[in-house]
Chains A and B, each alone.
Chain A
Amino acid sequence: MNGETAIKGGVYSAQRHDSGHKHVAGSAAYVDDLTEPQGLLHLCLGLSSVAHARLKQVNLDAVRAAPGVVLVLTAADIPGANDISPTHRHDEPILAEGSVEYAGQPIFVVAATTRDQARCAVRLAEIDYEELPPVLSFAEAKASGVMVTEPMTLARGDASAALAKAPRRLKGQLAVGGQEHFYLESQIALAIPGEDDEVRVICSTQHPTEIQTMVAGALGVPANAVTTEVRRMGGAFGGKETQGNLFAAVAALVAKKTGRAAKIRPDRDDDFVITGKRHDFLIDYAVGFDDAGRILAVDMTYAARCGWSADLSGPVTDRTLFHADNCYYFPDVRLASEPLKTNTCSHTAFRGFGGPQGMIGGERLIEEIAFALGKDPLEVRKLNLYGPGRDMTPYHQQVEDNIAPEIIAKLEADCAYWARREEIAAFNKASPVLKRGLALTPVKFGISFTLTAYNQAGALVHIYRDGSIHLNHGGTEMGQGLYTKVAQVVAEAFQVDIDKVRITATSTGKVPNTSATAASSGSDINGMAALAACNTLKGRLVAFAQENWEVPGDQVAFLPGFVRVGNQKIAFADFVNAAYLGRISLSSTGFYKTPKIHWDRAAGKGRPFYYYSYGAAACEVIVDTLTGENRIARVDILHDVGSSLNPALDLGQIEGGFVQGAGWLTSEELWWDDQGRLRTHAPSTYKIPACSDRPRIFNVELLKDSPNREETIYRSKAVGEPPLMLAISVLHALSDAVASVADHRLCPHLDAPATPERVLMTIERLRAEVAELDGRVA
């Protein structure tokens, strides 16, 4: 073998997911698949059936007496803090105390010998509620004025003065629904009691350190008594950033109380009802613009139904405002958030973290202007893009890496936008029932946690004497391929094949004080931390080689499978064994913190984002104007991932993110009844896209030759969240098809999700409006 042969699985290669061969064989173990410890107890939570009430009496005698029941716990039995508020606001008890604030709130937990017994036993509870009026709707929440966290305002210039001066003004309102994560693997936690105050929690979480913190708090023990582990999740999408805390806490409480291992895996319906989702928003907007369609002033208020506690609603609604501008320059602007308290589940992180809702508001402005001026929305989009001299965001960060204009121009040409625009118009003229629509929308998504402290990561790398490598880092694997990407980085650093790198479960015992795997940051920060660990080791190894073989440092090089030392090539395994014999430490941590970022929330100024990821999508849909049923006919995407660490995995994130976003904006509808009970709480009633809903023509391309301008890991860019927002093109294409029934004279004001019902009712409204305009009877 010569030194020039490339390694297998280095960076920039379409390496397969590290667990792919295990996924397909059923041998990839999720928490519920692990061999169960002897004497394992199974838990089930008893939930509130009402949205808002004082708990007059909670009689659990029948529950305790039920077959198989070993233990029943209520809030009174918690030795530590009855609190899992991730932002430390103390507004989120593990188990309800005195009152309940949403239908589905856990009141007690049952531990039984089998899961079936636990599920049967919870139904025997007798709970006497003194019902209080619940706050459910936006109207009720706005009237009550209670917010779960401090709102934020971003302002630049004088929006109201500029609005008053603008030659044209429009205002309106847009309602955007929430979204259930529908990770295929439900929440789950397995707690195994240890000696003294120790406990080991194996669970499905994006944030092992927070699980550790919450469990320690609930037990009243120091963090070093708790170890959290996660090898892989069966999907997460933000739904396992904070929402696993409850389950881990009750499992640990039962485990320490009984001395027996305890597992909780809520049934799908319970998971739906208990856990938070993507926030739904009501967006009030006013926009001033000139006759050409250029935006002059923007004033928007983003109200969110946050649910009963703050959870992550603060940072989520902040990010909403950060993305209201999308790719567009707002000269004078005021953006305000209203994180409203409601008696519903506490909404949480979900891929995009409020950004999609922000962006959808900005895109509505574009649409309004286009209809007002009789222009194609794409022309209005291009006219308002950030550009030289027009590059300051509403939060006073300068857009330095703007590539949206190039991406849009290339996609516009590649997808034959204008030719298809004409073809569709001709089709619609000839087709009385089915109408087609087309839209091209861009995405600019800010990368970094807006909480600056979270932008740090750690890794741990060991090299064993046989040359095999053990890799660990603080990031978690939820299917996105993070473990694979970081292993590629390590393989590249040492120039060994990727199968020499053992990827190991994330554990708070190996890498402490980790950040959530969230904000699309996984490979950016953990990849860098792993590289730092590798570089430390390589530094030691080079120094060792210099001394051992008496060569200058520049004559030591890591080549594929070998290390060249002077003029000899030493197999990697032999080289590291020599280093071991030379008493060199072959284990190192690595650490990374994202540079350049800072954020002053009170002032609304700073550089919250290290860089931006960009993309654009052109979507064509077809709508049945008799029923509102609709299909995505074709999608073309051009997306920017910098220099892709792994084009295959990145493509998967883009395709999957798009379809998930399309589901959010079309068929996925969360429906609460007037008592505040969620009635779409399983896949039978909550409809995520199925196979036939995918775009039949789906052209996805990664932007070529566009390395990240910032020094990220191998100049790649984050990819987890941005592609979801490409699906905003679906809503706009539907709107375009709907507008055809009124000859594109009226802005349809199509809310989301655009279910068949919402589409048809919008069509009916437009028909009536245009008839009125023409003095006809509809």
Chain B
Amino acid sequence: MRGEIRFLLDDAPRSLSQLDPTMTLLDYLRQVEHLTGTKEGCNEGDCGACTVVVARPQAGRLHYRAVNACIQFLGTLDGCQLLTVEHLAKAGQLHPVQQAMVDCHGSQCGFCTPGFVMSLFAMTRDHESVPDESTIDDVLAGNLCRCTGYAPIVRAAQQAYTLDPRDDAFAANDSATLKQLIALQDGESIGIGDGLRRFFAPAGLDDLAALYEANPDATLTAGATDVGLWVTKDMKRPHTLIYTGRVVELARIEETGDSVEIGAGATYTDAMAKLARHYPDMNEVIRRLGSLQIRNVGTLGGNVANGSPIGDSPPLLIAAGATLHLRKGRVRRSLPLEDFFLAYGRQDRAPGELLERITLPLPAANTQFRAYKVSKRFDQDITAVLGAFNLTLEDGKVAAARLAYGGLAAVPKRAEKAESALVGRPWSEPTVTQAMAALAEDFQPISDWRAGKDYRLKVAQNLLRRCYIETTEPATATRLAGRARFGS
């Protein structure tokens, strides 16, 4: 067991054996390192003013990813390089993304600017040439600007590519940095602190399972995109934090013949790369559930396991017929995802039991999978209504139907009455109309700040109609977001 975390701050090694387990990267940067370029805008991972870039060795190369420093715990940096806005300019020369922002008048008040700069910097690592505008929108979806209206920032993103943004000091040092970070990988589990506050970062799955079984009241965290808010907003101070991000097995995504096995620790970003081909709509909903900063650290497994009634992944995965694989110590069990959610805030998970992986069946040839997220804003918003539909169509009839909804009940839930109205019937206007009516029996949604109950039910019904139109009248335009975005 190693009793310290080690990382690079730009190119300077840091090792910390004293660690408040819930200290955020942002507080560390501003209060300990006195690097005040990184700003706090919201303290909940929604505005991106605190965006920093974390470089991590993965499959033999460095992956640079933008993350929100405000809800990222410092201990999760072990084995990584941390780059902030202060590190981009070298020898008094602004980095090309910085220069382009200045030249295009991309800053007004300047408070969000460091975050934008870091997102743009990360973009230049992921994209060799200038990305299209939809990609830029997505790269910047987690950076809010209240002054510029974004137009000059998008112009800067494009102009940066005329200044060779990839030919920089970081590229020049890439292999040296990689070597330094690989040298930090010792395969040792980390345990810091004794007594009241403890931080663990096990290096292997067995270690993790044993540790969690032994400490069932510990808080398990991967991306901390939810746990981070318990700390920053609810002022909770979990005494023991177990970070799963160093467990390589847990992050694996493997395609077997008829399914994708998604490790509970796989980030949204990594999962999306595999899902895009099989489930484009699932991919699009996940793209919209959080910004790139969130998707770079948040996990599908965490979104399921924390049992939130407003998580976007569960309805998607329920419709697709996913299976969960849980583990407590050495004991493993599996269950269909829809059986996991027992009631509001209650899941079928024992103390000390963790989610290991999710089996996602690949769509069969005769199935139609559609998923739609409706929220006040397209990007980075919590869902008002999410509908995910998995229909098996044979000879014009609905042979099987799995309709799952989020935002309509205390748990993500299948629409059983609507499914009954579909199965065995022709996939036709009258059938859809009946199923839409049946949804009113399946769900009695509530009104809150995200949407009123009448709207929620109406949209739930209309999303099924959208699915019908898309599967029967493919020429009809139906979407304002995602792959078939209209009006751009």
By a beta-carbon cutoff of 8 Å, the part of chain A in contact with chain B is 16-17, 19-30, 32-33, 116, 119-120, 123, 181-186, 232-237, 267-269, 431-434, 436, 478-481, 622, 624, 626-631, 633, 648-649, 651-652, 655-660, 667, 669, 671, 673, 679-680, 682-685, 687-694, 696, 698, 755-757, 760-761, 764
Contacts and interface: CB of A to CB of B under 8 A. Distances in A.
B455 A232 contact: no
Interface of B: 30, 35-44, 46-47, 49, 84-86, 88-89, 94, 98-99, 101-103, 105-114, 117, 133-134, 136-138, 140-141, 143-154, 232-233, 235, 372, 374-382, 384, 448-452, 454-455, 458-459, 462-463, 465-466, 469, 476-481, 486-488
Given A431-B477, A690-B140, 9 more contacts: A23-B113, A32-B30, A234-B109, A434-B487, A687-B381, A698-B149, A756-B374, A756-B376, A757-B452
A688 B146 contact: yes
A691 B150 contact: yes
Contacts of A480: 108
A17 B108 CA distance: 7
Contact of B43 (A268, A432, A687): A268
16 contacts: A184-B47, A622-B486, A626-B466, A627-B374, A628-B455, A648-B105, A652-B148, A655-B151, A659-B151, A669-B449, A684-B382, A685-B450, A687-B377, A693-B378, A696-B133, A760-B462
B263 to A, nearest CB: 27
A338 to B, nearest CB: 26
B106 to A, nearest CB: 8
A235 B111 contact: yes
Given A660-B146, A690-B377, A761 B114 contact: no
B94 A185 contact: no
A622 B86 CA distance: 42
> Top 4 A-B pairs ranked by shortest CB distance?
A26-B37, A479-B109, A234-B111, A23-B110
Contacts of A233: 109
Contact of B136 (A436, A624, A680, A691): A691
B374 A184 contact: no
Contacts of B150: 659, 689-691, 694
B44 A684 contact: yes
B376 A25 contact: no
A592 to B, nearest CB: 25
B376 A694 contact: no
Nearest to B101: A24
B480 A434 contact: yes
Contact of A32 (B36, B112, B375): B36
Contacts of A237: 146
B149 A658 contact: yes
- The secondary-structure label for the interface of chain B is loop
- The secondary-structure label for the interface of chain A is loop
A624 B43 CA distance: 33
A237 B85 CA distance: 26
B148 A182 contact: no
B107 A24 contact: yes
A627 B459 contact: yes
A16 B111 contact: no
B49 A184 contact: yes
A770 B86 CA distance: 61
Contacts of A655: 148-149, 151-152
Contacts of A660: 146, 149
Nearest to A661: B149
Contacts of A689: 149-150, 377
Contacts of B465: 626
B376 A667 contact: yes
A478 B147 CA distance: 10
A687 B376 contact: yes
Nearest to A681: B449
A25 B88 contact: yes
B410 to A, nearest CB: 18
Nearest to A683: B46
B141 A692 contact: yes
A652 B101 CA distance: 13
Contacts of B487: 434, 436, 622, 631, 633, 696
Contact of A22 (B42, B110, B451, B458): B110
Contacts of B477: 431, 433-434
B16 to A, nearest CB: 18
Contacts of B40: 32
Contacts of A680: 449
A119 B455 CA distance: 38
Given A22-B110, A669-B376, A692 B101 contact: no
B108 A760 contact: no
A25 B94 contact: yes
A755 B110 CA distance: 29
Contacts of A30: 39, 111
Contacts of B106: 24
Max chain B CB contacts within 10 Å: which of A651, A684, A688? A684
Contacts of B374: 627, 629, 756
Given A24-B102, A627-B374, A685-B449, A434 B486 contact: yes
Contacts of B478: 433-434, 624, 626
B41 A268 contact: yes
